[in-house]
Amino acid sequence: MTESISAIPMSKCPKAYFLIVDDIRQFSPVITTMHRDDWKSFFGPQRQTSLFKRMEYSGAIQQRLESNYRARLDAADFIREKFYGGQMTIVNSMPLLRPTLSRITLLTKLGHTIQMSLLTSLSSLKFESVPVSQILQLLSLLSV
């Protein structure tokens, strides 16, 4: 979401409180313009500085990201070193296991054989070459 779009609800509800979450140490604002001269205009320096960077300069930022629960291994290490100077804790530092496929075959009461691949490390099912009607029939038989 761009800064200008995020300002719309704030302008419509001037007495409301807003919690704005972003990470000033990662992605900078992307501003495109048809004319390069516009970039060097009077407002150029302001447009180059993100809303969150301006908030940091003013002392309005009260909390910082200290723990990363989502990224793993190489991606997390890159983020920690590149954007946080090694000052971020990686909570899920265990390696993400590659999905291992195991074939299972279900025989429904209707006599249809359905082949599925089970992504065991991700605990999700992937149906292969099965008409949707058969999947729906199977789910109804299993009372899912």
pLDDT at site 36:
60
Mean pLDDT, residues 24-40: 60
pLDDT at site 12:
87
Q: How confident is the model at residue 7 (pLDDT cuts 50, 70, 90)?
A: confident
pLDDT at site 125:
44
Quote the pTM value: 0.35
Q: What's the CA gap between 65 and 47, in Å, rounded? A: 25
Mean pLDDT, residues 37-51: 65
Mean pLDDT, residues 95-122: 46
- Say yes or no to pLDDT of 127 above 60: no
Q: How confident is the model at residue 81 (pLDDT cuts 50, 70, 90)?
A: confident
- Say yes or no to pLDDT of 11 above 60: yes
Q: How confident is the model at residue 130 (pLDDT cuts 50, 70, 90)?
A: low
- Say yes or no to pLDDT of 118 above 80: no
- C-alpha triplet 26, 32, 35: angle, nearest 5°: 145
Bridge partners of residue 105, in order along the sequence: 115
